[in-house]
Chain A
């Protein structure tokens, strides 16, 4: 009982502390009334149907990229290459889509999804393989791979894959309007949101009800025991990293197929980095990722309003995200100590 209460109370306390710190920063440094700011943020994130749709559109890639950290985290790995997998997934999807534009839309879309997921999955699986077979720290290697992925995207977008018609903003060729993945009926939110929610539920079912999911939990709990039990740790590392990367690649695919219509620098706007935060806030629980992504998507969506109305720098929401991140991590220490519990036995 206490444990369940703590799971709500500790993050709530951390969020409250973050809000106070952020409010202080706004009041002291920017001379802005923090209550004004939080009111505006609520308006910009959840205040109207319009802002809800904006928030949900931003939440979609966050849900998918969060899985890129959450899945390997089950094995005790800290992967932060989400942005790279997203960018490469988007690039691969755009290239594949542009290559088969003449095919029926469904074929084009499926081709793009497969290409994007394969590219993202292979990228993160590579980081996992380096960890497993060479002992290379997966946190650092996956972030290095992100920088390499962004350089690759820039190279292809400005070089071999550049559409000569894209003058001001170098882009790949368009995948064609008919091939775009549209919106969910009745909403101004694209299908990526549904993909994300389905993916989270599938991952949850997998972790909860399959032997493989259980094996992953054992490995994350104690790799030595897992090895003694004869579990093929390498296979699970590749599987978790590959699936996580595929989710981030799907996020990139959706950005291309539902928002941009082509690959360009707008792919690398930080959804991958925010996805890391979402995964940690959700404590790597796939079902918790969905509401956390909506919350973070809302914070992101309100950035524009803060900038326009209060003249705050657009980095204000990044600061808030950073404060929340650190506060949540520091609050780990409170578990088991926040609420008095009855003596056991």
Chain B
């Protein structure tokens, strides 16, 4: 039982690596959705945004040779889809949950439609910072390959937490999310605030998608996302609408998502599919544990899910 010299230690190590690698899309989507939900709107369509971001980033990287231009385009596509969601939800009597489901279907369908030519060719991918230079063990070196986007995501999570708490803008967003009546009373344009918050949230989700296609797993195909966009929305609830807690939750989810491949890498193939369901079971378990039948969750924006 020799697996590259580190034996079963490979499992926690691979989970650590997974926490770093797999968590990045969760991190981006959840921090973006955090902002959107703080403004009083739920965007379930982020799953579609994520896939569209992945497809457009990959296509852009393929044509221009620059993965970073791909990331930029993914953010732009995210803004458009976010603005579309916000624009439709702003119409009277339109339900934002249902619209989100519709845009999820639309986004994934459109990505598969437009992305057909990108399935075969190989695009240049994003680089990584080598934090494992001090080690001789290949597994450790590989685990500590940290992508720039992961670092950016952490910075953005802290920046978002700070901005929501301390800036005038953050106050306006929270006001729009807590009470439309109060916001309107002091002349806050609630619709425009939500439009901007949802668009920025979309940009985050687009970048999360770019990470999927341009770093890990690092290719474009129709099975690229397996509900990360949606799980990230659930994760925001679990993180109680706090960007920093979104970061910890993303790391936890990344580690859970890495259990199955990690076990496989040390030769445990029994129950592969059961372990692959771990992130979903974890999400569900956490939601059961943190939700309460009395409607108002601590930290929940007051206007969330209210249709006007």
Q: Name which of B48, B91, B277 has the most chain A CB atoms within 10 A of its CB.
A: B277
- Does more than half of chain B's interface fall in helix, strand or loop, or is it mixed? helix
Residue in contact with A78 in the complex, picked from B98, B108, B292, CB distance below 8 Å: B98
Whether the pair A132, B108 counts as a contact (CB closer than 8 A) is: no
CB-based nearest B residue for A149: B277
Residue in contact with A135 in the complex, picked from B88, B98, B99, B292, CB distance below 8 Å: B292
Q: A136-B287, A139-B44 are in contact. Are A326 and B110 (CB under 8 A)?
A: no
- Report B-chain residues with C-beta under 8 Å of the C-beta of A137: 234, 237, 287, 291
Q: Does B142 count as interface, using CB distance less than 8 angstroms?
A: no
Q: Does B273 count as interface, using CB distance less than 8 angstroms?
A: yes
Q: How many interface residues does chain A have, given as a range?
A: 35 or more
Whether the pair B276, A151 counts as a contact (CB closer than 8 A) is: yes
- Report B-chain residues with C-beta under 8 Å of the C-beta of A29: 114
Give the residues from 178 to 213 in chain A that come closer than 8 angstroms, CB to CB, to chain B.
Answer: none
Q: Does A154 count as interface, using CB distance less than 8 angstroms?
A: yes
Tell me the bound Cα distance from A159 to B276 in angstroms.
14
Tell me the bound Cα distance from A158 to B91 in angstroms.
48
- Report A-chain residues with C-beta under 8 Å of the C-beta of B273: 151-152, 154-155, 158-159
Whether the pair A280, B98 counts as a contact (CB closer than 8 A) is: yes
- Report B-chain residues with C-beta under 8 Å of the C-beta of A139: 44, 97, 101
Whether the pair B94, A147 counts as a contact (CB closer than 8 A) is: no
Whether the pair A273, B105 counts as a contact (CB closer than 8 A) is: yes
Q: Does A103 count as interface, using CB distance less than 8 angstroms?
A: no
Whether the pair A144, B101 counts as a contact (CB closer than 8 A) is: no
A76-87, CB under 8 A of B: which get 1 and which 0?
001010000000
Tell me the bound Cα distance from A280 to B295 in angstroms.
26
Chain B interface residues toward A at CB < 8 A: 44, 48, 88, 91-95, 97-99, 101-103, 105-110, 112-114, 116, 222, 226-227, 230-231, 233-234, 237, 271-274, 276-277, 280-281, 283-284, 287-288, 291-295, 297
Chain A interface residues toward B at CB < 8 A: 29, 78, 80, 130, 132-137, 139-141, 143-145, 147-148, 151-152, 154-155, 158-159, 273, 276-277, 280, 313, 315-316, 318-323, 325-326, 328-330, 332-333, 335
The 8 closest A-B pairs by CB, nearest first: A322-B106, A318-B109, A315-B112, A151-B277, A325-B102, A333-B91, A155-B273, A154-B273
